[in-house]
Amino acid sequence: MGLLKLPLLALLLAALPVFAAEDTAALIQKGAYVARAGDCEACHRTAEHGGAPLAGGYVIDSPMGKIISSNITPSKAYGIGDYTEQQLADALRKGINAKGQHLYPAMPYTSYQGMSDDDIHALYVYLQQGVKAVDQPVPETHLAFPFNIRQLMFGWNLVFLDSQGFVPKPGANEQTRRGQYLVDNLAHCGACHTPRNALMAENNSQYLAGAKLGGWVAPNITSDKVSGLGDWSEDDLVNFLKNGHLADKAQAAGGMAEAVENSLRYLSDSDLHAMAAYLHTVPPIRDPGQTERVVRKVTPVAMSTLETGQGDQASLVDATGLNGARLYNSACSSCHGRDGQGSADKFYPSLSLNTALNGNQANNLVMAIIAGIDRKGADGAVSMPALGGDLNDAQIAAIANYSLQTFGNPALSVSSDEVTSLCRGGEAPLLITAMPYLLWGGGLLALVLLIVLVLWRRHRKHLREVQAKRVALNRCFHSK
């Protein structure tokens, strides 16, 4: 009987490497999915289009300055090849790298802090064994004072970093728990869709109520039926997240287009449905001053209002012209139609059934004209040319105003100065605009404290001298 056990034991031992290889392969596959859900590639790509995945170098235009993403391939010289799993977990959950340096919250560790141990383990295995090492250095991030002092993040983290991990909302079922985990943690939707407070932390009293960033507006995605997604069905949301567009409602552009291309289109249908189901449970928040649904019933546009006529022949070829109708008809109508209804198959979207024109802000319309749209969804690629290099700011404003008046919300208007501001990234956060005054005030306070310190030290020196003289006099008196 003992002799029979030996071959069986040998067979089991021989199978162990196979089981281990299969387990590692499964972990790598899961880790790759976690990386997609976390949208790692969107930031940790190269500065050049089409570079090696996760090799870093991409420049993130933050309000504090340009932040350069790091190399997270398993390169031991320039990447995270020497990271332990705990060091990766600390970077994800605490915003502290292997050198003990604080990361900037452009790395969304305030969201990733809720990642599960299993997901971090799978991600670690994938990054170490499933990604090709790229031995390529990336430039250092150099922010202006005082943002270059990374130690300041210690105090910021004490106030704004919630370290309790993922906490499901009471009464949530399995689907909405999964959706909450994806929305709040892995996909970090709040990093864009929740507005920031004065210290640039997420203002959770306005959770997912929309925010401005980089000239664009990340819209309200609460369950409000006027300002948010309350009138979108679950299938509507899933189709938008997967493909980046929803006929006669919305199209993804800017950062959302990048999220669709690099992350959301790769997620499973069950995960997308979980996200949609959870978003429908988010308490509604109404945009201030908005009383109508963002996408309204289309009002037919009379063709007579679109005809610009021949007019002065010279003005028809004037590159500096500011006639919005003529500019629209020459630059936009070939795709969106002279009546703004797009194409019958909805490949070219309608402008009159479009959140970019029918909301209460024109930022996304202007930014789409300036920067264009370049997006890959699960159902194909979409490209809209950028006109920012061909038209001046006044002409972009003219096209935007004509489009708003003719196809969208006529209560909105855009000035050339506003276009210029959006080109530069939009209105700066309060902390950035106030920083020169804070630095001046801080410098003045430091000067006052320095003067007080000098006077105090002089006063103490004087007191010591007086005391010494008294002691000397007393000794002299007693010696007599």
Domain count, the chain: 3
Over range 173-189, report the average pLDDT. 98
* 36 and 50, same domain (yes or no): yes
Residues in the chain: 480
Say what the pLDDT of residue 204 is.
94
Residue at which a domain ends, from 138, 165, 192? 165
* 27 and 153, same domain (yes or no): yes
* 355 and 343, same domain (yes or no): yes
Say what the pLDDT of residue 65 is.
86
More confident residue, 236 or 8: 236
Q: How far apart are CA 177 and CA 166, in angstroms?
A: 10
Across 113-263, the runs of DSSP E, i.e. the strands, are 211-213, 216-218, 245-246, 250-251
Q: Does residue 237 fall inside a structural domain?
A: no
Say what the pLDDT of residue 64 is.
81
Asked if 409 and 357 touch (Cβ cutoff 8 Å), the reply is: yes
Q: How far apart are CA 309 and CA 415, in angstroms?
A: 25
**Nearest Cα residue to 134 out of 233, 66, 48:** 48
Q: What single letter denotes the amino acid at residue 284?
A: P
Q: Does residue 180 fall inside a structural domain?
A: no
Write out pLDDT tens, residues 338-353.
Answer: 889 999 998 999 998 8
Q: Does residue 219 fall inside a structural domain?
A: no
The pLDDT > 90 percentage for the chain reads 63
The pLDDT > 70 percentage for the chain reads 79
* 349 and 372, same domain (yes or no): yes
Write out pLDDT tens, residues 195-251.
Answer: 999 888 999 999 999 999 989 999 999 999 999 999 999 999 999 999 999 998 899
pLDDT class of 15 with cuts at 50, 70, 90: low
Residue at which a domain ends, from 430, 449, 466? 430
Write out pLDDT tens, residues 397-449.
Answer: 999 999 999 999 898 999 999 999 998 887 766 666 665 655 555 554 554 65
* 406 and 446, same domain (yes or no): no
Question: Which residues touch 438 (CB under 8 Å, ≥6 apart)?
Answer: none
Write out pLDDT tens, residues 27-81.
Answer: 999 999 999 999 999 999 998 877 889 999 999 988 888 999 999 999 999 999 9
Long-range contacts of 89-93, Cβ-Cβ distance < 8 Å, separation of 24 or more: 89/117, 89/120, 89/124, 92/120, 92/123, 93/163
* 46 and 94, same domain (yes or no): yes
CATH number, domain at 350?
1.10.760.10
Asked if 15 and 28 touch (Cβ cutoff 8 Å), the reply is: no
CA atoms within 13 A on the CB side of 95: 23
Which range marks the domain in which residue 50 is found? Answer: 19-165
Question: Which residues touch 271 (CB under 8 Å, ≥6 apart)?
Answer: 37, 178, 179, 182
Angstrom CA distances, 161 to 153, 158, 189, 427, 444, stand at 10, 6, 16, 26, 31
